[in-house]
Amino acid sequence: MPESIPASLIIDTLKDTFTEARVAFAAEGQPPSRHAHLGWVLSVPDTHQRTVLAALDKEQAIRTLTCATEDEAVTVAAGLYLGGEPAVVMIQHAGLYASVNTLRGVSLDGRLPVFYLIGLLSRERDRDPRESRHSMVRHCEPLLDTFGVPHARLEGPGDLHLIPEYHRVSRERRGPAVVLVGLETS
Amino acid sequence: MAIKPEDALRLIAEARGGAICVPTMTTSPAWRTLAPDDLSVTCVGFMGGASALGLGLALARPDRRVLVLDGDGSLLMQLGSLATIAGARPRNFVHFVFKNGVYHTSGSQEIPGGLTVDFAMMAKAAGYRGAWSIGELDDLRRRLPAILGAEGPVLVELITTLANETPMTARGGVPFPQQVEALRIKLRSV
């Protein structure tokens, strides 16, 4: 397993993901965006992905909005989608647990696409997350399975293709999709 | 000193122009009668989410006003959204909070703090550009044009009586997934 995932690679992938989403929106008949940037990151800061958040602070092509709660982050993302703007929700596993009702109400029942990048803080490198000693890590994938949320795990730079792929899944299924960040970013 | 919520909603409906509206809880039954087929989406199924849904719409569509028709109990569920909205500084965001002091839909249990909670003061402290409390219909009528034209985010706490209907007594309306799909399609052409 690699040591970490460089933040710059994740940001480049996010740009590609937003660009692809805008093309898809245009194909549906969305008018051109009123914004200069490519897309939005809604964040409740995640220690696991802190280097990405630090790099996003300097990034002009992506607008980042820090939210007070994960409920807000998910719901703001849904509102942006309604207005024709692509978004990514960046949170950590504890935030997923805190916002399960919003995931259900907004994205599952409401059929609004919401794509999540969720950091698995404290995930042990030598074991599968489902066997983690930490309940926050261990219960994450089973929780997503319970709700029928498609998910995949980002374990290294070779998995970055999962980000546009699962963003596409969320748009096509009109619901939530998750990429779990299994390694700290650097 | 309190406003009938239906009267306040009627004034807002008449004055809103092309604004996108996000009603929730006890504002929703009356709103679907006053504005049955327009640029509105009712926050239903995730109580407390109206302000954040409105924020997303306001950020996506800076060319159009967004009016959130919130409840006091609803806003308390995501009170942090005041800071998030203030931080995002959407100039086109108008936040109405219908304050009746109770969770009307679930049987009128008093909200924490009851009518003493001052949402206008909270909004100002969070960083909204303006916030006011209004308890008389004539006052709302007189000030509404300036409120709707103000640079956002602004909040108006409306001290109200109980609504005639709640989502429990007046069930129905267009299901949320169909509302969002309809609004997304409408927003493509306006």
Backbone angles phi, psi at B20, to 5 degrees: -80, 135
B15 touches chain A (CB under 8 A): no
Contact yes or no for B184/A80 (Cβ under 8 A): no
State the complex-level ipTM: 0.97
How many Cβ atoms from other residues are within 10 Å of residue B128's Cβ?
A: 21
Pick from A66, A75, A83: which is nearest to B187 by CB? Answer: A83
pLDDT digits (tens, 9 = 90+) for A154-165: 999 999 999 999
Q: Which domains does chain A have, with CATH numbers?
A: 7-28+44-181 (3.40.50.970)
Is the N-terminal amide bond of A45 cis, ω within 30° of 0? no
The pair of structure tokens assigned to A111 is 């059929």
Does residue B36 carry a pLDDT above 90? no
Q: Does B58 touch chain A (CB under 8 A)?
A: yes
Q: What is the mean pLDDT of residues A2-7?
A: 86
Residues of B in contact with A30 (CB under 8 A): 188
A48 or A175, which is more confident: A175
Q: What is the mean pLDDT of residues B66-76?
A: 97
Residue of B nearest to A85 (CA): B60
Q: Where are the beta strands (DSSP E) in chain B?
A: 20-23, 66-71, 93-99, 102-103, 109-110, 130-134, 154-159
- Res B61: pLDDT: 96
Partner B contacted by A105 (CB < 8 A): yes
Label residue A98 exposed, middle or buried (CB < 10 Å: 0-12, 13-18, 19+). Answer: middle
Restricting to A residues 7-66, those with a Cβ less than 8 Å away from any Cβ of B are: 28-31, 34, 40, 65-66
d(CA B109, CA A122): 41
Instruction: Assign A14 a pLDDT band (cuts: 50, 70, 90).
Output: very high
* CA–CA distance, B23 with B167 (Å, rounded to integer): 11
Element (H, E) at B76: helix B72-77
Q: Write the pLDDT tens digit of every residue in A38-81.
A: 999 999 998 888 999 999 999 999 999 999 999 999 999 999 99
Q: What is the mean pLDDT of chain A?
A: 96
- In this model, does residue B37 exceed pLDDT 80? no
pLDDT of residue A141: 98
Q: What does pTM read for this prediction? A: 0.97
Q: Report yes or no: B56 at the A interface, CB cutoff 8 Å.
A: yes
Is the pLDDT at B4 greater than 90? The verdict is: yes
Residue pair B177/A111 in contact by the 8 Å Cβ criterion:
yes
Q: CA nearest A88: which of A101, A77, A103?
A: A77
pLDDT at A2: 77
In angstroms, what CA-CA distances link B125 with B87, B111, B155? 12, 21, 12
Query: Between β-strands A39-43 and B66-71, what pairing exists: parallel, antiparallel or unpaired?
Result: unpaired
pLDDT in tens, B85-135: 999 999 999 999 999 999 998 888 999 999 999 999 999 999 999 999 999
**pLDDT tens-digit series, residues A89-126:** 999 999 999 999 999 999 999 999 999 999 999 999 89
Tokens 């964040």 correspond to A43
User: Taking CB atoms and an 8 Å limit, are A109 and B45 in contact across chains?
Assistant: yes
The architecture that CATH gives domain B5-143+172-188 is 3-Layer(aba) Sandwich (3.40)
> Using CA atoms, how far apart are residues B155 and B160, in angstroms rounded to an integer?
15
